[in-house]
Each structure stands twice: as C-alpha cells, then as structure tokens.
Amino acid sequence: MVGEALKLYREERGMTINELSHLAGISKSYISSIERGLQKNPSIKVLQRLADTLDISLSQLLEFTTESISIDEEWLHLVNKAMEEGLTKKDFLEYIQFFKFKKENRI
C-alpha cells in the first residue's frame, strides 16, 4: 500500500509529517490520510512530489508491499530498544558490515 510505504520511507529519514508537509508543499492532513489508508487514490503528481521530497523513486512508493518486510515483533522490539539506547543508522550499518566480514572470513 502506498500509505505504508510513505510512512516507512518518511520514518526512515527521521521526518515528521509536519516536516514532509512543509518540504513537499502538501497539507499535513492529506499526507496523514494517505498514510492511514483513508486517501486511497492520491494523484501521481502528489505522489511524485512526496517521492522527490523523500529522495526516492515514484516506483518505490507504488511497488511497495508489506510482504517484502519480514520483521517479526521480537525483532521490531529489539530495534526500537537499540534506537532508544542511542544506536544510529550508521552504527547499525557498521555492525552489518562487521558481521558480513566475520561470516565471509569465518572468524
């Protein structure tokens, strides 16, 4: 769903609906209604402005499916806890690189 994708990409970028609204020039209530699935047919023009503001392609918004995300509740809780403790996206990516290196070199 477009709304789920919009919310996911917005949150990944650490943006509030207010910030996205201001930067994209689209009302907060309209963005909120898209994210909550109340507005089911936003125009391509609106979606393109949102995608541009989020620095993603329009197809990323349109092709998104919840099936592509396979995070169970336990993992989600763990990630949220790590973020509360101060883990940044950069830190997380460094851990991933370390574990890839470790796995490839069988350390």
- Distance CA(99)–CA(78), nearest Å, equals 18
For residue 6 the two structure tokens come to: 């919009």
pLDDT digit string, tens, across residues 72-94: 667 767 877 888 888 887 887 78
Q: Is 99 helix (H, G, I), strand (E, B) or coil?
A: helix
Q: Is 28 helix (H, G, I), strand (E, B) or coil?
A: helix
- Distance CA(94)–CA(87), nearest Å, equals 11
pTM: 0.60
Q: CA of 33: how far to CAs of 6, 17, 37, 85, 98, in Å?
A: 11, 11, 6, 31, 40
* Cβ atoms of residues 64 and 54 within 8 Å: no
The CATH architecture assigned to 2-68 reads Orthogonal Bundle (1.10)
Higher pLDDT, residue 6 or 92 = 6
* Residue type for position 77: H
For residue 27 the two structure tokens come to: 């009302």
Which range of 1-5, 6-10, 61-65 scores highest in mean pLDDT? It is 6-10
What is the model's pLDDT at position 16?
96
pLDDT digit string, tens, across residues 33-74: 999 999 988 988 999 999 999 999 888 888 765 454 445 667
